[in-house]
Amino acid sequence: MIVPITFHIPDALREFTAGRGRVEIECSPTTLADALSALWTHYPGVRDRLVTEQGQVRQHINIFIGDENVRYTGGLASPISSGSKISIVPAVSGG
């Protein structure tokens, strides 16, 4: 049985997820990149907000798997397990 991946979507991106703050998608990703691909297959507007046209996560965007920032776990190659919870959070920055 596939346990869906849960994405927590920040306010700024909810206009691209039909207003949803939490999205659960049935998929079997092995990496964060796979999971994100599943997310933007359904919500294509999210993609360019999270990554550059060269596929790099934007500088001031943090992605967490559970409570762990993926910057310290391998970035887009970070492993994902069934039922993972992925949070997208803008970094504290700006002036």
Partner 1 sequence: MIGQVLGHYRIVAKIGEGGMGFVYRAYDEVLHRDVAVKVVNKDARLDASASQSLLHEARASSSLAHPNICTIHEVGETDGELYIVMELVEGKSLRAMTGDAGLPPESVLRYGVQIASALARAHDRGIVHRDLKTANIVITADGLVKVLDFGLAKQVGSGIFEGTTRSFTTLQDASNVSGTLPYMAPEILRGDTADYRSDLWALGVVLYEAASGRMPFEGRTGFEISSAIMREIPNLLGPPVPPGLWAIIQRCLTKEPLQRYQRAAEVQAALEAIQSGAIVSSDAGPDQSAPRTTVLHSVRHAHVKKGDFLLLVGTTKGAFILRSNAQRSRWDVGGPYFHGHNVYAMAYDDRGGQHRIWASTQNYWGTLLRSSDDFGKSWTNPQQAPIRFPSDTGVSLKNIWQITLGRPEEPNVLYCGVEPAALFETRDAGETWSLVRGLFDHPHRPRWMPGNGGLALHSVVLDPADKQRMYVAISAGGVYRTNDGGSNWSAQNRGIRAMFMPDKYPEFGQCVHKIAIHPGRPERLFLQNHWGLYRSDNCAESWTDIANGVPSDFGFTVLVHPRNPDCVYVVPVESDEFRCACDGRLRVYRTRNGGASWEPLVRGLPQKRAYETVLRDAMTADSFDPVGIYFGTRSGQLFGSRDEGRTWQKILDGLPSVVCVRNAVFEGASGLWPTSHKAASAPKSRSRFPSTRQSRPTNRSRPTKKR
CA distance 73 to 51: 17
Question: Which letter, b or e, does each residue of 63-86 get, where b requires 16 or more Cβ atoms within 10 Å of its Cβ?
Answer: bbbeeeebeeeeebebebeeebeb
Nearer to partner 1, 20 or 64 (CB): 20
Residue from 22, 66, 79, 82 binding partner 1 (CB under 8 A): 22
Binding of residue 94 to partner 1 (CB under 8 A): yes
Amino acid sitting at position 46: V
Minimum distance from residue 83 beta carbon to partner 1 (Å): 12
Residues that bind partner 1 (CB under 8 A): 4, 8, 11-13, 15-27, 38, 42-45, 47-49, 52-54, 56, 58-61, 90-91, 93-94
